[in-house]
Chain A
Amino acid sequence: MRGFTPLMQQYQRIKEAHPDKIVLFRLGDFYEMFYEDAEIAARELEITLTSREIGKGRRVPMAGIPCQAADGYIARLAGRGYRLAICEQVEDPSRARGLVRREVVRIITPGTVTDDRLLQGGKNNFLVAVTESEGHFGLAATDISTGDFWTSQLGGRGRLESLKEELARLEPAECLLDPRLEGRGDLTAYLETELRVSLTRGEDWIFEPERASRLLKEYFGVTTLRGFGIEDLPAAAAAAGALLEYIRDTQKRDLRHLRRLRLHQPSDYLIVDRTSRINLELFRRLVDGEKEGTLLWALDATITALGRRLLSRWLSSPLLDVPTINARLDGVGELLQQTLVRSSVRDALKRVRDLERIAGKIGYGSANARDLLALKESLDAVPQVAQAIAACRSPLLRELAERLDALPSVRQLIHRAIVDDPPATLREGGIIRSSFSTEVSELRELRGRGQEWIAAFEAEERSRTGIKSLKVGYNRVLGYYIEVTRPNLHLVPPHYQRKQTLANAERFVTEELKNWEAKVLGAEERLQELEYEIFCQVREEVASELDKLQETARALAELDVLAGFAELAASHGYCRPEVDDGPVIDIRDGRHPVLERLLPSGSFVPNDCYLDEEDHRILLITGPNMGGKSTYMRQVALIVLMAQLGSWVPASRARIGVVERIFTRVGARDDLVGGQSTFMMEMSEVANILHNACPRSLVLLDEIGRGTSTYDGMSIAWAVVQHLHDRMPGVKVMFATHYRELTSLEEQLKGVKNYSVAVKEQKGDITFLYRVVRGGADASYGIQVAKLAGLPEEVLQRALQLLQKLEEEARPSARRYQAAPMVQLRLFPDHVHPLVEELRKLDVLRMTPLEALSKLHELVERSRKES
């Protein structure tokens, strides 16, 4: 670094502290970037790449953006995934001695963006932190644009899986990872490749539980974390504390809208694993990842961005607690009945802007005058909402009514202080009403008078000097000046000081003029400063009510979602589900909430479904492909989900015994590209299900055993059903299969019942009836379906011939399956390992410790040699 200019040395020091970020280095009116940063910036922002001398005659690449217009550029870079460090001059350059001091004042990473341009209205932008402590994982999550802040602790055997599931559920933009977790299983690969999360490796000391707890207590001003429920959860506290530390470090300020920390227990919610979330198309379409045609799309009748985000969060965490679910259902029911109330509420909500994000900006200190006005307009709508639901009787609606606070003092303040149409900038004045501050109105008057004097001055000088064409003008360089054209120069009085010569005129100033100019410009400058100060005060006052503001915002969001549910229930004829902790799922005339809307009215065929924990635990569904098996199974899962969200459901009646986990094995996106064959994927997923399904789970299996030969596949399917039946009580299963042989399981296993999708055959043609009926399918109709698909006639004929022949031959084997008793088969021939034999022979009670130890040593040696 020697030989570099002091400026460059300063830059280098800062850059070394932030090697992974683009450093925006403040120089004059620009933010400059050097070296590689400059090259990236030039490329991404399409600005000129120049160079700068850094000493010793060396030049380095440089690129810059003007400070005034920096926001847009910064947003672009952040949007492309780059991390940025904003380095400002932290002392007044005019007063500095030598090099002006510079510091990084802000760091921008994917999880810490607050710029509206980078945020999507309907989605949260999550930043998470992951750590491990004493055998438990800690996972904390926050959206700094809204102030949401949660933490969880995951323990137990399957905790790595649970952690992955939670991460998938949150879809964070950035993850702060405890460096000690670097090699943990495939966690980093999972985060980076599969979830595409931007990884930040943190320092290990920020994850230290003691330190983290202390930080949290200090930040929230409490002596114990018991209030947050995490006093005895060190990993959760560690993750939350680390996250807080990171935020402070990158934002260089406190986020006042981050006011509470909540404990999120995944076990309090219905867990839909990530495969199922994808297979059931809850948030994204399978085909193209779009939102239309997903359950979220079907349930979204919200009006505000607040409501949309809340709905998304509710959908990713459906409830398990029956009273809470019923509270929501009741609220929706009342809003459904009271059409007038609902329409008033929805009307009022149209005037509500994104209160949460505005509150975030206020807490962050970046809200401008327009944001405050938007806040006021939104709050203006609150009384209408409150009035509409004032007479409601359901407890949830009454509670929401209580939580609404129209904050009249805040509204008044903003109304009195801020003009009706303020600019977006804060330091150029034009924000504060003259009536609000006498100083402001005086300064404006002063400025006005000064301007008037100068304007009058022109007329005066004209008459005094006799120069009829004399003009008083203004520009940035000279300020106010007097302009006299060449022919009149001889009339110029002596006290005029010449300032500029032009082709046809000359410009002068006088003492008097300059004095008045100072007054005007002085007033202007002071005015701008003052307005900014006053604005900040107003913003400060508003900020003091952040608590109530956020509470109101949350209540509005909930109302929005509930009113939306009511609207949907009215439009589509939903019914109120009876939700309980019981074992039964009984749906009458159930419909698929998404499909019934996409198909022409009257086309979707409703179907019943009955599941319990005794004789109807496993529904085996057979029938031809395209007959509606998958739709049927999916609609049951979606109806359960909707019920546990607190929404009414598309059925004529529904009784839903709460489900804790939903698993699906649907095989629609087998990972051929990733190197796993269809069959392998299938087996992994089935294995996952068999290991993890617990009582009160709902399992959907669609065509197990497809990726391998018929006998293998069928046998595996058979065995899986048997296992689910015998060894996994309380698990409800819907199993669609093309192996008709499996229908004989009904006779053998008490809990298995056969259903099939009805088909009508007429003269070799089939019509799909889309009704699910009791009893196994008569035939596969594979050939008829192929005919529908357009397979050539000769191919079909030949297939028919072959089928008949095979059916004759195969018939005995179906009976064979029926007759085969449940025998404990071993995969490999009867063979006892020699070591096992040896072990069996040992008489431990008669061995001395030394003998035992040496025998053990021997056996261990041998076992090692064997592998």
Chain B
Amino acid sequence: MRRIKVLNEDVVRHIAAGEVVEHPASVVKELVENALDAEASRIVVEVAHRGSWTIRVSDNGWGMSEEDAPWALERHATSKIASLEDLRRVRTLGFRGEALPSIAAVSTLELVTRTPRAPHGTRVLVRGGRRQAVEPVGCAPGTTVTVTDLFFNVPVRAKHLSGDKAEVARITAVVTALALANPQVAFRLSHEGRRLLETPGNGELLDAVISLYGRDTAEQLLPVEECDEPFRVRGLIGRMALARSDRSHQYFFVNNRPVRSRTLRTGLEQAYATSLPRGKYPWAVLFVECTPELVDVNVHPAKQRVRFTAEARVRELVRRAVERALTGARTGWEIPKSAVETPGVAEKPVPYLPAPSVSAKGEGAHIADLEPLWDIAGESDVLSRLRPLGQLARRYIVCEGPDGLYLVDQHAAHERIHFEQLQGDPAVQELLMPVVVEPGPEQLALWESHRVALERAGFRAEQFGPTALALRSVPSALGNAEPRDAFLQLLSRLREAGPARTGAGEWELVQRALAACVAAVKSSQPLSMEEMRRLISSLAATPRPWTCPHGRPTVLKLPQQRIDRYFHRS
């Protein structure tokens, strides 16, 4: 008996909203929703982009019979609703009967499906809306849909796609939402063979969150549960520490369908109102449940916007629930362990950190990073306009700048300044008396292999005992620093920097290490206003003042507007 039937005209007119497949993410969403409707317990999503997008979604759900399979790709045919009445009572996610055929119209789509008891499965191949094959095939029970050559016949749409990374980020967000809504399903998402996310599918929302966000995030979550018949809300919300500057970590579900709803958002944010500064949004995964008649899912073609029959009541419910959860916990700022950074002399060279992405408009990657309060400064000629105000912790120079507050890292600045100065051969200061150093067997060997470069840098030493060295000169830049310590420090940094290189690479290594040492010497000293000014202008004079030679930022900026915002001035 065929379960998939073509919808009658009436219904079609009512719901046809020009279904449009916009991105690979929409394809993924539709296919995964179909899999969920089929009551799968395991859904595997694989995506790749080689020229055009390839998407493969495989599930172990009910599958389609041999009869039904070809009709799955006919427009306006669905097993899920048959009449307007059904529309009102709809519970399943995919009811428009539009998705598969829409996708098949702009790609090569292969559907392989089998019901559990059937002896074999069916394979249907459609390309650009034209059916190419229908044949029996041996396969596992469930359904696998493979979409290749997406948008091959609508090159305009293909061109309008964002780059790989952005699309993958969108896909990830889609799958994350569906995985959160369905913790009883084990999800796996991979991109070109690399596993992006995986959930255990054991029914526990918390376990799903742990596998998506990590243990650290999970430790900052609070459970939510509240009821106002016939509405019910439950889920998890995050403490203040998880708050971000966008809403990318807010997931709302109505009857398990991912939605966007201003009502729900407002309810959530109102509960946090007094605790969160403007511009910061809480982490939340919230589920609202009610009988299907009370909510309209048909509002938007992408089926994301919903309307409730009692908007205010729902909003209140959410607000109350979240508030209760929050007051149960300690409010106020919490500093999560993982986010505590100890600035200052870093132990290892760190690759250059890119500035926080400006594009975080609700579609970033899902792994959370604490968004910094400060920006890394990088606009030219600001440096010369900085006016030092004072020194903080003998490490940072606090300055007033043209458009906000600036912090200059003494150590990083010194490193950059001295690195540039050391470009030539540094000045050497002879020691009145040789200083004896016991570097230990390994550092000794290191000295031997870098001896020439070290001499050029200003450290001249010779063997002075079976395991000792006599230091005869040091770089002038070190000033009054203790020669022995400086020398040992330099050797230490050289060792950390990795295996010895020869030639130009070696010299640069030594230079950087030396610059770091000099900076270390100078950075923990108190400075007078004059010295501060001089330091800043020396920094401004260097060709690349915004980073130290290892790539770390030298200057941080807190824009005036942000300060205003935090103080709730507009």
A positions within 8 Å CB-CB of B: 336-337, 339-340, 343-344, 421, 423, 425, 428-430, 444, 447-448, 451-452, 454-456, 458-459, 472-476, 480, 520-521, 524, 570-571, 573, 600-606, 758, 760, 762, 767-771, 773
CB within 8 A of A521: which of B433, B434, B466?
Answer: B466
Known contacts A573-B42, A769-B119, A769-B138; is A339 also within 8 Å of B434 by CB?
Answer: no
* Cβ–Cβ contact B135 & A601, under 8 A: no
Q: List 19 A-B contacts (CB under 8 A).
A: A339-B211, A340-B215, A423-B440, A423-B441, A430-B442, A455-B434, A455-B470, A458-B434, A474-B464, A474-B470, A571-B198, A601-B46, A601-B58, A602-B44, A758-B138, A760-B136, A762-B135, A762-B136, A770-B138
Bound complex: CA A760 to CA B140 (Å): 16
Q: Would you give the 0/1 interface string for B494-514, flagging 1 where the beta carbon is closer than 8 Å to chain A? A: 000000000000000000000
* Cβ–Cβ contact B462 & A473, under 8 A: yes
Bound complex: CA A343 to CA B139 (Å): 34
Q: Which residues in B have their C-beta under 8 angstroms from that of A343?
A: 210, 215
Q: Which residues in B have their C-beta under 8 angstroms from that of A474?
A: 462-465, 470
CB within 8 A of B119: which of A340, A762, A773?
Answer: A773
User: Does B436 belong to the interface (CB within 8 Å)?
Assistant: yes
Q: Which residues in A have their C-beta under 8 angstroms from that of B441?
A: 423, 425, 428-430
Bound complex: CA A161 to CA B112 (Å): 50
Q: How many of chain B's residues have a CB under 8 angstroms from any CB in A?
A: 49
Give the residue name and chain of the A residue nearest to B435 (CB). Answer: A455
B positions within 8 Å CB-CB of A: 41-42, 44, 46, 56, 58-60, 112, 119-120, 135-144, 186, 188, 198, 200, 202, 204, 207, 210-211, 215, 218, 432-436, 438, 440-442, 462-468, 470
Q: Which residues in A have their C-beta under 8 angstroms from that of B186?
A: 570, 573
Bound complex: CA A451 to CA B462 (Å): 13
Q: Which residues in B have their C-beta under 8 angstroms from that of A459?
A: 432-433
Known contacts A343-B215, A602-B112; is A472 also within 8 Å of B434 by CB?
Answer: yes
* Cβ–Cβ contact B467 & A429, under 8 A: yes
* Cβ–Cβ contact B202 & A606, under 8 A: no
Give the residue name and chain of the B residue nearest to A589 (CB). Answer: B141
Bound complex: CA A339 to CA B211 (Å): 9
Known contacts A451-B464, A520-B465, A571-B198; is A602 also within 8 Å of B119 by CB?
Answer: no
* Cβ–Cβ contact A602 & B462, under 8 A: no
A199 to chain B, nearest CB (A): 43
Q: Which residues in B have their C-beta under 8 angstroms from that of A573?
A: 41-42, 60, 186
Give the residue name and chain of the B residue nearest to A760 (CB). Answer: B136
* Cβ–Cβ contact B144 & A339, under 8 A: no
* Cβ–Cβ contact B436 & A604, under 8 A: no
Bound complex: CA A768 to CA B440 (Å): 70
Bound complex: CA A839 to CA B380 (Å): 117
Given contacts A336-B202, A429-B441, 12 further A-B contacts (CB under 8 A): A339-B210, A340-B207, A520-B465, A524-B467, A570-B202, A600-B56, A601-B44, A602-B59, A603-B144, A605-B138, A769-B119, A771-B120
Bound complex: CA A456 to CA B462 (Å): 16
Bound complex: CA A604 to CA B60 (Å): 11
Give the residue name and chain of the B residue nearest to A428 (CB). Answer: B441
* Cβ–Cβ contact A337 & B202, under 8 A: yes
Give the residue name and chain of the B residue nearest to A570 (CB). Answer: B200
Q: Which residues in A have their C-beta under 8 angstroms from that of B198?
A: 571
A476 to chain B, nearest CB (A): 8
* Cβ–Cβ contact A606 & B138, under 8 A: no
Bound complex: CA A570 to CA B202 (Å): 9
Known contacts A423-B440, A603-B139, A767-B138; is A758 also within 8 Å of B433 by CB?
Answer: no
Bound complex: CA A760 to CA B42 (Å): 28
Known contacts A339-B207, A601-B44, A602-B44; is A451 also within 8 Å of B465 by CB?
Answer: yes
Bound complex: CA A604 to CA B114 (Å): 12
Give the residue name and chain of the A residue nearest to B118 (CB). Answer: A771
Most buried by A among B135, B140, B462: B140
Give the residue name and chain of the B residue nearest to A757 (CB). Answer: B138
Q: Which residues in A have their C-beta under 8 angstroms from that of B468?
A: 447, 451
Q: Which residues in B have their C-beta under 8 angstroms from that of A337?
A: 202
* Cβ–Cβ contact A602 & B139, under 8 A: yes
* Cβ–Cβ contact A769 & B467, under 8 A: no
Q: Which residues in B have their C-beta under 8 angstroms from that of A448?
A: 436, 438
Closest 8 CB pairs of A and B: A602-B58, A769-B138, A451-B436, A602-B144, A770-B138, A601-B58, A430-B440, A601-B44
* Cβ–Cβ contact A768 & B138, under 8 A: yes
CB within 8 A of A339: which of B200, B436, B440?
Answer: B200
Q: Which residues in B have their C-beta under 8 angstroms from that of A429?
A: 440-441, 467
A385 to chain B, nearest CB (A): 15
Q: Which residues in B have their C-beta under 8 angstroms from that of A768?
A: 138
Q: Which residues in B have their C-beta under 8 angstroms from that of A602?
A: 44, 58-60, 112, 139-140, 142-144
Give the residue name and chain of the B residue nearest to A430 (CB). Answer: B440
* Cβ–Cβ contact B144 & A606, under 8 A: no
Bound complex: CA A459 to CA B433 (Å): 6
CB within 8 A of B433: which of A447, A456, A571, A605?
Answer: A456
Bound complex: CA A268 to CA B451 (Å): 64
* Cβ–Cβ contact B465 & A524, under 8 A: yes
* Cβ–Cβ contact A458 & B433, under 8 A: yes
Q: Which residues in A have their C-beta under 8 angstroms from that of B215?
A: 340, 343-344
A773 to chain B, nearest CB (A): 7
* Cβ–Cβ contact B119 & A605, under 8 A: no
Q: Which residues in A have their C-beta under 8 angstroms from that of B136?
A: 760, 762, 767, 769
B200 to chain A, nearest CB (A): 5
Q: Which residues in B have their C-beta under 8 angstroms from that of A421?
A: 442
Q: Which residues in A have their C-beta under 8 angstroms from that of B41?
A: 573
* Cβ–Cβ contact B138 & A771, under 8 A: yes
Bound complex: CA A573 to CA B438 (Å): 59
Most buried by A among B135, B143, B440: B440
* Cβ–Cβ contact A769 & B120, under 8 A: yes
Q: Which residues in B have their C-beta under 8 angstroms from that of A571?
A: 188, 198
Most buried by A among B198, B434, B470: B434
Q: Which residues in A have their C-beta under 8 angstroms from that of B135?
A: 762, 767
Bound complex: CA A475 to CA B469 (Å): 11
* Cβ–Cβ contact B119 & A758, under 8 A: yes
B138 to chain A, nearest CB (A): 4
Q: Which residues in B have their C-beta under 8 angstroms from that of A344?
A: 215
A527 to chain B, nearest CB (A): 9
Give the residue name and chain of the A residue nearest to B141 (CB). Answer: A606
B64 to chain A, nearest CB (A): 14
Known contacts A425-B441, A601-B58, A762-B136; is A475 also within 8 Å of B463 by CB?
Answer: yes
Give the residue name and chain of the A residue nearest to B143 (CB). Answer: A602
* Cβ–Cβ contact A428 & B144, under 8 A: no
Bound complex: CA A521 to CA B41 (Å): 75
B71 to chain A, nearest CB (A): 21
Bound complex: CA A430 to CA B468 (Å): 12
Bound complex: CA A466 to CA B89 (Å): 108
A370 to chain B, nearest CB (A): 11
Q: Which residues in B have their C-beta under 8 angstroms from that of A336?
A: 202
Bound complex: CA A448 to CA B464 (Å): 12
A635 to chain B, nearest CB (A): 13
Bound complex: CA A680 to CA B262 (Å): 79
Bound complex: CA A344 to CA B218 (Å): 13
Q: Which residues in A have their C-beta under 8 angstroms from that of B466?
A: 476, 521, 524
Q: Which residues in A have their C-beta under 8 angstroms from that of B112?
A: 602
Bound complex: CA A570 to CA B201 (Å): 8
Give the residue name and chain of the A residue nearest to B442 (CB). Answer: A423
B35 to chain A, nearest CB (A): 11
B180 to chain A, nearest CB (A): 15
CB within 8 A of A447: which of B138, B144, B211, B438?
Answer: B438
Bound complex: CA A811 to CA B5 (Å): 49
Bound complex: CA A521 to CA B210 (Å): 60
Bound complex: CA A480 to CA B470 (Å): 12
Known contacts A451-B465, A767-B136, A770-B138; is A758 also within 8 Å of B58 by CB?
Answer: no
Give the residue name and chain of the A residue nearest to B59 (CB). Answer: A602
A128 to chain B, nearest CB (A): 41
B523 to chain A, nearest CB (A): 24
